[in-house]
Structure 1
Amino acid sequence: MEKLFQKIDGSSTKKLLDSGITSESIILMEDKDLMDIGIEKGPRLLILEFIRQENNNAQENINESNLNVLNWNDPHSTSSKARFTFFNEKEIRTALETRTDFRNTLYGELNVGGLPSNKNLLFMVRIVCSHFFEDRILNQRSYPTAFEKHLLAKQIVSTYPQLKRKKRNVMDPDEVSADKRKFNRNKAYDDFDFASQEVLEIVHARLQIQNPRTAALIIKQFPHMTAYNGLMIQQSFVRMTSLEQRVDMANILLKCILLNRHVFNDIEDEYIQGALVVFRELMVRGCKRLKEDDSMSVEEIQAAPLIRWVEESIKHEHLTTTTARYEPHIACFGDKFKKGSYYAVYGTESVSCGYSSLNCIDVFIKGFTVLNVRVPTLLRNLKDFLDIKVYSLKSHSSRNSVNNLLDVFDKVDNAERRSLISNGDTSI
């Protein structure tokens, strides 16, 4: 407070000290508080300016060495705390250097003081955000706070100071000051995570109406829809359909295996096997054999409309060029009929779903709704079955084969309930 005392008169200093005001308490004072202890208007203005500067400094001068051990209350949860994330220049540079598809921009522009295009800047932000936040979002279901995003943005600019420049070249028009703009943005929310998601969904819905069947356009506008093992697609589906509680898909798919114990027995993953059994039971016609399918076995061809096993060595080709010839499907990269890494594929667009087949089936089916993709003819009965039995989006189907299978499941469920009741289990 010595700096403040040098600016104000002795009488005002004495009043502050007599009132027991300390360096900790003064930053909490307002104009009314200063008036109450008799500070005149001139010194009050100087004190208020001092308080404003101190508050700004306190926000900006947080000791970064302690950021990684601070816990902040998650604004969207009453029971959990979000782990605060530590950012530094070295880690940001390392995250960018590990991406081979960004090295031209990194070494050719950023590292020599250049300013990349807007597209490459957005790509850079996605790389850095994935590096710091992806594991936290996937495993802890905890999103970065607005304050963390602000600190990360400041660290990125500190790492590459040329990003402070407003224009990419001298011929670009100057930025118009806020008081001269015809339109100004509304004040941003302090806590804007959920608000931004709602805006995204409104725009997303309009894109669907104006540009039907354009998953590529939706993903181009919102590239993060394909990130985090399909989590964004799952959350968008919940908001779009008002589905509040996920039904146990795992139990249903395991029961589906019992429909036919003589098919798809070589498939290692039980959830994939169950999905294929119910797909086969509901299939209205045979599968068309393509020229490139000549080397495939009968079971591979029967499974192909839903899932294709692809060698890891041709993964990039399959996801970028080959898929354009196929209807939407699940791709499993690994040995035939074995577990592997799963992707939900919609034409040339794909969503990585990690190594969980159950998660991939869920993302794949929900992706038809979220990305506004036309459901292939051979998969319509399967999707209809899951929409009713798993997601409860409707009560019955327009297809008799689906309704007949649902009746079988209802009888099985009723038999299970009667068995549990007869055994004295009243929890149901």
Structure 2
Amino acid sequence: MNRILTKHFFEKQIFQDKRYPSWQQKKDLAIKIIEEFSQLEKTRINPDSPEESFFFWRQSGKEHGCHSGIIETRVENMRKDILPENRLFRRVRPKKIIVPETSNETAALLAALSATAQNAKYISDSMAECTEIHQWILNKKSENNTQEILEVFPHLLNYNGLLVLHIQQAYERIHTSYNTTADLKSFLSLAVLLDENCWLSVEDSNLKGLLIFKKKLGNRGVKRVADTNEQLSMEELLAWPLIRWMKSNGDPENVQVDIYKSNKTDPHILCIGEKQSRGNMYLIFYSYSISCGNSSLQAIEVFFKSFSVLGIPIPLQLKKIHDFLSIKLWKTLSSTISVTVQRLISKIIDYEQSLED
């Protein structure tokens, strides 16, 4: 019976839809079995366990650990029949990177070059030649990864308006599966269809779309991370881990931002101007800042791609929105353990298919 039911409910989901059943789905099936065959209540593991525990018991009654029950066992066995290339979670062996000797010489010359228009093409080409060095530093996963990368590639931090070009090129070199047809603006506009009455006071449509997606992915723990003396509205509080506004006090912006980043706050997008209005955008990565001008699209794209390019750990509050964009838009990530992200991706896919029909 267990084999028949798990096949009926989960086979298509696992093999065709390429989605693993959640613990809630497996628990619901176990409860249905007990409801239909009440005599099976006697199969419970022990007197204190749930009636359905023989079929599925979440974490075996503990706060942490693996699930148990014959439904869980059968689903695990079904996953083993999936071809390795189709599995959601694959153990990838780290590729050994060999750095050519000529790359070290090129990198040394590159770091010494000034960011001028005459050097633009040479710097771009040289950074491509030094990809192995970049990947080698990233694979080290040391606490000083970002500092080491910027010492070798200082032009990633700022390059007279060509910042997006260098971050984008480096991102594509790191992620060979990158979706080159990705349209960030069109993708963010889909968010308004999910909740057109949300974030009405945010002037920039791109930021509004990003915040709607962020809200749909959950806001657990937001109150704990909003460490500020300012009086924030609920919307500003929800936006705090991702986007913050700072009113200009008349000082030059670069001085103001330097003072702000000295606090070494968690990575986020900073907009100079009245709350929820348009303004010049800066990316704050602890003690580093990147100027993105008044382009919100540029700020959003560079912000999320910089985590990979600069080797910056992704804050917990941004993990879901980062995974969401990486999987659905840029296709540089194949899967996520977040059920919320999986559901939102499925919702967007269903909507896109309905448009095609």
The interval holding the TM-score normalised by the smaller chain is: 0.5 to 0.7
Counterpart position of 1:397? 336
Which residue is 1:69 aligned to? Answer: none
Structure 1 residues 39-92: Cα deviation after superposition (integer angstroms, max 9, x where no partner): xxxxxxxxxxxxxxxxxxxxxxxxxxxxxxxxxxxxxxxxxxxxxxxxxxxxxx
Q: What is the CA distance between 1:193 and its match in structure 2?
A: 5.8
* Corresponding residue of 2:81: none
- Structure 2: where are the runs of 5+ without partners? 1-108
1:258 equivalenced with 2:193 (yes/no): yes
Determine if contact 1:253/1:275 at 8 Å carries over to the other structure: yes
Quick check: 1:385–1:406 contact (8 Å CA) kept in 2? yes
Q: Deviations over 1:6-55 (max 9, x none)?
A: xxxxxxxxxxxxxxxxxxxxxxxxxxxxxxxxxxxxxxxxxxxxxxxxxx
TM-score by length of 1: 0.51
Mark the runs of 5 or more structure 1 residues left unpaired by the alignment.
1-120, 138-142, 145-191, 419-428
Q: What residue number does 1:245 align with?
A: 180
For 1:231, the equivalent position in structure 2 comes to: 165
Q: Which residue is equivalent to 1:355? A: 294
Structure 2: distance between partners of 1:319 and 1:389? 34
Equivalent residue runs for 1:199-238 within 5 Å: 199-210=129-140, 212-213=142-143, 214-226=145-157, 227=159, 228-238=162-172
Measure, in 2, the Cα distance between the counterparts of 1:417 and 1:336. 38
After superposition, the Cα gap between the structure-2 partners of 1:122 and 1:398, relative to the gap in structure 1 and judged at 3 Å, is: closer
Give the Å deviation of 1:407: 1.0
Identity of aligned residues (%): 27
* Cα distance per residue 1:208-266 (max 9 Å; x no partner): 23352432332233210022233211110011101261411111111112222232110
Question: Aligned residue for 2:208?
Answer: 273
> Contact (CA 8 Å) 1:323, 1:345: kept in 2 or not?
no
Shift of 1:321: 4.9
Aligned residues: CA RMSD: 2.7
Secondary structure in 2 matching 1:220: helix
Higher relative contact order (CA 8 A, sep 6+): 2
Secondary structure of the 1:292 match is: coil
**TM, length-normalised to structure 2:** 0.61
**What's 1:306 paired with?**
242
Q: CA deviation at 1:398?
A: 1.5
2:281 counterpart SS class: strand
What is the deviation of 1:375? 0.6
C-alpha distance in structure 2 between counterparts of 1:312 and 1:405, whole Å: 36
Compared CA separation, residues 323 and 234, structure 1 to 2 (3 A): farther
Aligned residues: 240
Structure with larger Rg: 1
CA contact (8 A) 2:111 2:153 kept: no
Pair 416,312 (structure 1): closer, same or farther in 2 beyond 3 Å: same
User: 2:208 and 2:275 mapped to 1: Cα distance?
Assistant: 13
Question: For residue 147 of structure 1, what is the aligned residue in structure 2?
Answer: none
Distance 1:395 1:221 in 2: 30
Counterparts of 1:210 and 1:353 in 2: how far apart (Å)? 29
Q: CA deviation at 1:292?
A: 2.6
- 1:402 match: secondary structure: helix
CA contact (8 A) 2:269 2:284 kept: yes
